[in-house]
Chain A
Amino acid sequence: MALLRGQTQTALALGALMMWVVGCQGPFPQSTLAPTADFGAHIDDLFRWIFWFAVAVFVVVEALLVYVLIRYRARPGAPEPERVHGNTLLEIGWTMVPAIILILIAAPTIQTIFRTDGTPAEGALEVDVIGHQWWWEYRYPEFGITTANELHVQQGRQVSLRLTSQDVIHSFWAPRLGGKRDVIAGRTNRLAFTPDSVGVFLGQCAEFCGESHAKMGLRVMVDAPEDFAAWVERERSAPAPAESLSALARQGLEAFRLVREPASNSCIACHAVQAVSFGVLGPNLSHVGGRTTVGAAALPNTPAGLAQWLRDPVAVKPGSKMPRIGLTEDEITALVAYLQGLR
């Protein structure tokens, strides 16, 4: 009848809309459906297996429903329906068939659980990931590097993440590489993946962690082996000596080192720059100039973006622990020159 036709039309329209959006819109940089690492690929295989079973069950059951609604709608003058109270055979049937489908789903599920449990192989690149409100700290014990927010890894080499938190629970999620893993204080979780494509992959925190949870982004940079080695070299190198800086950058260095009132407004109170300062409350800035974003992917790392961040971090990330210091525009310009030179 009319109502049913209308609903069927809506369903088809909705389905078509979805296909159009997913197929023709995009790109979707945080998609889980286009994996570029083994972790994501294993998950995707399993998901598709389950998905098609789900589609089949959906089609069968909804079709049955629609058929019943049309075929058995009341007709005037029709006799009273026969009083059927049950049928044991049917009950057994529609208990066994779902059970069998579930077994077919469960077996590869358990296989994939063990395959993706985060135990690394020999020779994996170990990175300690420490979650903070609202940024990511990365330490590479193999190289003695500490950096933040942008995780560089090497194409083809397995990455083994050891995840913990400094404060509340977060969740590390780079969808194109694989699933997420929570980052919990007092606990070390593991996540492992081998990226197979060079590129920049977006991610963000996926466990509500307070006011700026939505702004706790991350980037995973999968570098070709030689680029990765170069990145490691840069990260390990000391910053350029003060004498070699431009005048503006030297002013920036002074502004960075300035002890302000209150002391917690000083950059050096929270941030570390190799051979300059040793703060641990905020991201390590030794090579911040080489990053593509600031504020954990809140803004692009351009002069304008960095200036906006320095001017008022709280406006960009509500609740930010980095205060609005009240820097002058000259200070900001100088700091931008200095910080962008730290590559």
Chain B
Amino acid sequence: MKQFGGPLLFLNRSDINTDEIIPAKYLTEISKEALKPYCLEDLKLPDFNPKTDVPGKAAILTRANFGCGSSREHAPWALEVNGINVVVAESFARIFRQNMYNCGLLAIDLPADTIEDLFKTFYGKPTTLQVDIEQGHLTFLSEGLVKEVLFTLTDFERALVKAGGWVQFAAERY
């Protein structure tokens, strides 16, 4: 199975929508790779510049209802082609969450107080997230700080991630 996690990007706001993750004007692209330069282009946050903050990141930590709005799978794709394969949040919009697993990517929700604690501890510091899917462990590491958090995937979600996505799973089963 592929490796998940790596350098962490903090997006410190709730309700980040898929228009912010990838604006509709780029939906005219028919390859995932073409979305790469535009990831999170319309997201306006203090201390965030998509041009410099997205490259090199492999994971995102954010707040509630991440990925709300449009059903565009271009949103997970824009993350994926930038090397981001796991998003940790307080909650996700349904379609975005499903799209992540359908692509074999991870959308992990954690309790609000855990998310708050992670922001308090790591926000503003260069942080790495390690993901152990088998054990259900997330490890956040920064400058001597370490936090371990447990997470659970349903068997169905784990099967999708292992199969590499829903197309492979469904093609074999139905």
Q: Decide whether A and B assemble into one complex.
A: no
Q: Which residues in A have some Cβ–Cβ distance to B below 8 Å?
A: none
